[in-house]
Amino acid sequence: MAFIDYYKILGIDKSASAGDIKKAYRKLARKYHPDLNPSDKEAERKFKEINEANEVLSNPENRKKYDEHGKDWKHADQFEKAKQQQRQYQGSGQQSPFGDFGGGDYSDFFESMFGGRASSRGRTGGGVKFRGQDLNAELHLNLKEVYKTDKRTLTINGKNIRLTIPAGVKNGQVIKIKGHGGEGINGGPKGDLNITFSIKNNTKFKLDGDNLHTTVDLDLYKALLGGEITVDTFDGKVKLKIAPETQNGTKVKLKGKGFPVYKKEGMFGDLYITYQIKMPKNLTEKEKQLFTELAKLRTS
Amino acid sequence: MSQENFIPLHKICELYKVEMSFFNSLSEIGLIKIITIEKSNYIHQDKITDIEKMIRMHLDLDINIEGIDIAFNLLQKIGELENELNTVKNRLRIYEN
């Protein structure tokens, strides 16, 4: 646990007036406030730092304590009396103005000096209901697991949540579950739970939107003379006719054999198959002779 | 129209200690939609998250109505760009494997 320079965090010097502190705090809060920086963890961290600095420096009593003893925070005994006073503050039901964001998440340094929530200021005192904090979670799945709609029970913060994972959900997509976030303050509604899907593709298919792409090897003779092959799709095998004289890199589309379209039951993207013609290796003398004859036929 | 799914505006004013004029200004600028049912004003419950955000911007960050409008427009753009970025990243994975 290290000493935290609250003046440095707010970008002010030790002689700053209450007005300077407020001004500096508001300026930085506008820059890093979570409402203005959604999903930005770094901004959230900075906002907590700024909030904590303001909690201390905007309260004359706390500022005095910090100025006198801040660097000697290890001598916690000196602050025991202050802590007791602080507990009385906490019991009064007063809240941080940023009840949704700053609450209860202070540095160890702050806790050691002030014992928790310190502010006795702000607009939210006395029984005003506040919506709970939105919680964020990440769910790791593989591509096969999101091919069909699935129901799962997740344990988040010790609570079981039944979740329907719609087929076709995309990597990085966020699903909001209302009322499963943090508890509200003073009986306010609960926040929401945002689940970000992290989907790993460990199949041979490449996903582009709702379409799948794959490459299929084709032997030279089937490519030249035509025939029938069996290929893998995402949900099973299908037989395909190969046209005579199929060229290397030819692409065919299998309509409706792609990935399910998110929240559109029964709708699927397409599967694109690219033929990759494999040349025969280790030719026998007889084969070489026949290919030579073929070559002569072509050049004559 | 049924009052179900709507929250009376005067209750929101009481709860968050905000003047009615604040909501009128938000409505005038097109940021919220006030629904009138039997001479009382309501807000749809799905909009409460946005409204709380606007209240926080106004009271905690001293942002005026025009500023909130700009912030919301920019946040919407950021959201759209993030979605686009996510789609592009997913497409890029096709060529990385």
Instruction: List CB contacts (< 8 A) between B93 and chain A.
Output: 171, 201, 206-207
Our count of domains for chain B comes to 1
Tokens found for residue B63: 């942002």
Q: State the nearest Cα–Cα gap between A72 and chain B, in angstroms.
A: 33
Calculate the average pLDDT of chain A: 82
Is the distance from CB of A103 to CB of A117 less than 8 angstroms?
A: yes
Residue B1 inside a domain? The answer is no
Distance, in Å, from the CA atom of A276 to the CA atom of B34, rounded to the nearest integer, reads 61
Residue A2 CB neighbours (<10 A): 8
Q: How confident is the model at residue B90 (pLDDT cuts 50, 70, 90)?
A: confident
Checking if the pLDDT of A76 tops 50, the result is no
Instruction: Note the pLDDT of residue A125.
Output: 40
Beta carbons of A140 and A196 less than 8 angstroms apart: no
How far does the CA of residue A208 sit from the closest CA of chain B (Å)? Answer: 6
Query: Which of A17-21, A189-193, A270-274 comes out lowest in average pLDDT?
Result: A189-193
Q: Which residues of A touch B52 (CB under 8 A)?
A: 100, 131
| Tens digit of each residue's pLDDT (9 = 90 or more) over A27-38 | 898 888 888 887
Contacts of B15 in chain A (CB under 8 A): 128-129
Res. A180 pLDDT band, cuts 50 70 90: confident
Q: Residue B27 domain-assigned?
A: yes
| Listed residue (A188, A187, A204, A221) closest to A273, CA to CA | A204
Cα radius of gyration rounded to whole Å, chain A: 33
Question: How far out from the chain centre does Cα A210 lie?
Answer: 21
Share of chain A above pLDDT 90, in %: 51
Confidence of residue A184 (pLDDT cuts 50, 70, 90): confident
Q: Say yes or no to pLDDT of A232 above 90.
A: yes
* Chain A positions in Cβ-Cβ contact with residue B78 (cut-off 8 Å): 38
**From CA A216, how far away is CA A176, in angstroms rounded?**
39
Which of A29, A128, A172 faces B89 most closely, judged by CB atoms? A172
Does residue B83 sit within a domain?
A: yes
Number of Cβ atoms within 10 Å of the Cβ of A112: 15
Indicate yes or no: CB of A207 within 8 angstroms of CB of B71: no
Name the CA dihedral angle for A159, A164, A167, A168, rounded to a multiple of 10 degrees. Answer: -50
| Beta pairing class for B40-44 and A211-219 | unpaired
With contacts defined as CB-CB under 8 Å, which chain B residues touch A198? none
Q: Is the pLDDT of residue A97 over 60?
A: no
Which structural domain, as residue segments, surrounds residue B78?
A: 6-96
Compute the distance between CA of residue A59 and CA of residue A53 in angstroms, rounded to an integer: 10
Q: Is residue B22 part of a domain?
A: yes
Average pLDDT of A232-255? 95
Average pLDDT over residues B31-45: 90
Q: For each of the domains in chain A, give its residue range(s) and CATH number, in order of start.
A: 6-114 (1.10.287.110), 135-200 (2.60.260.20), 212-299 (2.60.260.20)
Q: Are A289 and A237 in contact (CB under 8 A)?
A: no
Q: Strand A206-208 relative to strand A211-219: parallel, antiparallel, unpaired?
A: antiparallel
For chain B, give the mean pLDDT: 88
Give the model confidence (pLDDT) of B14-34 as tens digits: 888 899 999 999 999 899 999
B→A interface, C-beta within 8 Å: 15-17, 48-49, 52-53, 56-57, 59-63, 71, 75, 78-79, 82, 86-87, 89-91, 93-94, 97
Provide the pLDDT for residue A186. Answer: 63
The CATH number of the domain where B72 resides is what? 1.10.1660.10
